[in-house]
Structure 1
Amino acid sequence: MNSAATSKDEILAKSRELVRQSGWSAVSIRSVAAACGVSVGCIYNYVDSKADLVGATVESVWREIFHRQDEPAAFRSTEACVTWVYERLAYGHERYPGFFTLHSLGFMGEEKEGGRRRMDGAWRHILAMLRAVLERDARVRPGAFTEAFTAERFADALFSLMLAAMLRGDFDPAAALEIVRRTLY
């Protein structure tokens, strides 16, 4: 086995590939070391434990699914953003079968806290993106938001719809888009 150094990016790419091929149970220090062609000790240069490896892999999957700065059109309107999120949910569901369900059931054993924390971070990022798009959307009619019904509360409601769709495996944004149109425009 090659004990040459690898990189954290390579470790996470190999970990994601293991998840795609064999599911989350395939991710371990030994299996990732073998996939990278390095020693187990080399992997420990980048992660402290299996829990750290799984948590970093979870974050890496969320980033792959949702962190797309190269798609500025997706953030120009609320409708475009909602459509984009549903498309990314479909992509994640196809690319990482069971990933969303795993989170809804609350992660595995010792990896639970790190995975949950990273998932929450991804969700906060998506929610903040929704809020920002809502606040910039020029099509939102004047008076759509009030002191009691704020853009933040509407973003929370939209996000709840998206989470429910994610758990159901329903990646059609039609219902959410209809709510956006009837409520805001």
Structure 2
Amino acid sequence: MNKIVTSKEEILESSRELIRQQGWSAVNIRAVAVACGVSVGAIYNYFDSKAALVGATVESVWCEIFHRPRDESVFQDTQACITWMYGRLEYGSKQYPGFFTLHSLGFMQEEKPDGKRRMQQTWQHILEALCFVLKRDHKIRPDAFTGQFTAEKFAGVLFSLMLSALLRQDYDPSAVLEIVRRTLY
């Protein structure tokens, strides 16, 4: 072991790299310690269990996939935002093969409440971002949303379509963009 200490971010970065190279099964305390060049105890200074390490790794993968774009204009236009999101889904699928399906199915099990909570927080954040964009988009006609058909409900529909695209591994947003055009403009 070369180092005595490391950082939480370095641990998470090494965990993400292990996933890229070897898949989810490679992430464990010992393998991450080796990848970081530290002792197992150094990892336990930051994560009290493998479940905590995996949960934090999942969160860091989501953050990498959906990091804020340099061009904030993406959040001014619904179509641009959807196109960006589908591009990020494709990026995530290529960088972390199986991530979307493996971790979401694994964390839906009862024994993984922290991972499930982190996944749901990320999904809620994505839904809130969609609502934010829908409410800011000046191209949406003023009567598009009503008391029954709200921006929040439409964001839920859009998000469901994105999750469906993940399962199909279909990262072409054209069908969703057509729904947006026909419904809102």
State the TM-score, normalized to the length of structure 1: 0.95
Question: What SS does the corresponding residue of 2:107 show, helix, strand or coil?
Answer: coil
1:119-142 Cα offsets, whole Å, 9 max, x none, are 111111110000000000000102
The question of whether the paired residues in 1 share the 8 Å contact of 2:141 and 2:184 is answered with: yes
Q: Counterparts in 2 of 1:150-169, with a 5 A limit? A: 150-169=150-169
Match of 1:92 in 2: 92
1:73 deviates by 2.2
The question of whether the paired residues in 2 share the 8 Å contact of 1:2 and 1:39 is answered with: no
Q: Counterparts in 2 of 1:24-103, with a 5 A limit? A: 24-103=24-103
1:75 deviates by 0.9
Match of 2:10 in 1: 10
Aligned partners of 1:5 and 1:88: how far apart in 2?
33
Instruction: Rate the CA distance shift 1:74–1:111 in 2: closer, same or farther, 3 A.
Output: farther
User: What amino acid is aligned across from residue 83 of structure 1 in structure 2?
Assistant: T
Aligned partners of 2:109 and 2:6: how far apart in 1?
28
Question: What SS does the corresponding residue of 1:106 show, helix, strand or coil?
Answer: helix
User: What amino acid is aligned across from residue 82 of structure 1 in structure 2?
Assistant: I
Gaps of 5+ in 2: none
Instruction: Rate the CA distance shift 1:24–1:143 in 2: closer, same or farther, 3 A.
Output: same
User: What amino acid is aligned across from residue 162 of structure 1 in structure 2?
Assistant: M
State the identity as a percent: 68
1:10-49 Cα offsets, whole Å, 9 max, x none, are 0000000000000111000000000000000001111110
Q: Extract structure 1 runs of 4+ deviating beyond 6 A.
A: 108-111
The question of whether the paired residues in 1 share the 8 Å contact of 2:104 and 2:116 is answered with: no
Q: How many residues align?
A: 185
The question of whether the paired residues in 2 share the 8 Å contact of 1:82 and 1:177 is answered with: yes
Aligned partners of 1:27 and 1:108: how far apart in 2?
19
Question: What SS does the corresponding residue of 1:105 show, helix, strand or coil?
Answer: helix
Instruction: Rate the CA distance shift 1:172–1:69 in 2: closer, same or farther, 3 A.
Output: closer
User: What amino acid is aligned across from residue 54 of structure 1 in structure 2?
Assistant: V
User: What amino acid is aligned across from residue 142 of structure 1 in structure 2?
Assistant: P
Question: What SS does the corresponding residue of 1:38 show, helix, strand or coil?
Answer: coil
Gaps of 5+ in 1: none
The question of whether the paired residues in 2 share the 8 Å contact of 1:52 and 1:111 is answered with: no
Aligned partners of 1:10 and 1:103: how far apart in 2?
21
